[in-house]
Amino acid sequence: GFRYYVVADCEFNSSKLNDIEYTQSYYYNKLEFIRFSSSVGKFVGYTEHGIKNAERWNNGPEVIARRAVKESYCLHNVGIFTESALTKS
């Protein structure tokens, strides 16, 4: 069968917004075909299909929505995680 999945993550080394990177990768049959990275600020395609989607998504509301995720999702959850880890150490 065919498998499509999306992996999103927040990588950080402090709770400061500048030290957080949000990525969202799209896979089809274990092959990553497109990725959004907050450090790049746009979608990047890795296959023919991914490149076409990246061009379309970078010119639409999708890229604006992804840029906001770093602050709305990552910053909030990194703060909770960091605070929790520090109180238990």
Give the torsion sign (CA, 71, 77, 83, 86).
negative
**Which overall architecture, per CATH, does domain 4-88 show?**
Roll (3.10)
Per-residue model confidence as pLDDT tens digits over 2-33: 899 999 999 988 878 888 999 999 999 999 99
Per-residue model confidence as pLDDT tens digits over 32-82: 999 999 999 999 999 999 999 999 999 999 999 999 999 898 988 887 877
Q: What are the domain boundaries of the chain?
A: 4-88
For residue 21, the cross-strand partners are: 11
pTM, rounded to two decimals: 0.83
